[in-house]
Chains A and B, each alone.
With several copies, the nearest count.
Chain A
Amino acid sequence: MRLIYFAWVRERIGAAEEEVELPTAVQTVRDLLGWLQTRGETYAEALRHPEVIRVAIDREHVDHGERIGAAKEIALFPPMTGG
């Protein structure tokens, strides 16, 4: 599965995207955020306040309770500031 990051999430993690194999225990977006925080200091720093992180699965906004299922691409980013 592909993870992609934008704006300060990207900058803090230090990567724009990566391929990952999720542990089977990671079922929801919330699980994913928790698991990522264990992957090192940059992740812990980027996701320290997981409640502000917005998530899109296969290019559609989802809540943190959403099940990941067969997602191909999950994007993590801060609240949007376009327009």
Chain B
Amino acid sequence: MSASPLTPRVSIRREDFDAGAEIVEITRGRTDIGAVVTFSGLCRDENQSLAALELEHYPGMAEAEISRIALEAAQRWPLLALTVIHRFGRILPGENIVLVVAASAHRQAAFDAASFLMDFLKARAPFWKKEHKREGAGGWVGARDSDAEAARRWT
């Protein structure tokens, strides 16, 4: 799969996204795509204690780093289209945070690429989550060892 003609679409933004519209955007008018895997990451609040998440990011680097990860995915798997959207700013429980849409002729490449992208986004994309609690102090979310391990399994 050398010289992939694919240019991943990467968007770092405050606004919400529409996963369905992004899938349509990727597949419209073409008949070579057999499989689309979409990952939506949402803001969780299991015990009704969270007022909001605040997502800080490194504006100059976030898009560049995610584009590097997306290009690496496009080199490792025969992807036909790839979209990554990551929000920043204030995000409420139940809202979208991140979207990956990976399209390929067959399902395994699409699954693997989407999973790879999420593992590397978690480990390498310059974003930091701060919790604002409904009552009491919130704080910065700690990095999970399991996320660093998840990224290592691809090397």
Who on chain B is nearest to A59 by CB?
A: B61
Chain A residues proximal to chain B, CB less than 8 Å: 4, 6-8, 56, 59-61, 73, 75, 77-83
Interface contacts (Cβ under 8 Å), in number, total 74
Question: Which of A6, A7, A73, A83 is packed against the most chain B CB atoms within 10 Å?
Answer: A83
| Residues of A contacting B97 in the complex (Cβ-Cβ under 8 angstroms) | 82-83
Interface size class of B (residues with CB under 8 A): 20 to 34
- A43 to chain B minimum Cβ distance, whole angstroms, is 18
A30-B140 Cα distance, complex, nearest whole Å: 24
In the assembled complex, 25 residue pairs joining A and B whose CB atoms fall closer than 8 Å, in A order, are A6-B56, A8-B140, A56-B126, A59-B60, A59-B61, A59-B64, A60-B61, A60-B64, A75-B126, A77-B58, A79-B142, A80-B122, A80-B143, A81-B122, A81-B140, A81-B143, A82-B97, A82-B98, A82-B121, A82-B122, A82-B125, A82-B128, A83-B41, A83-B86, A83-B118
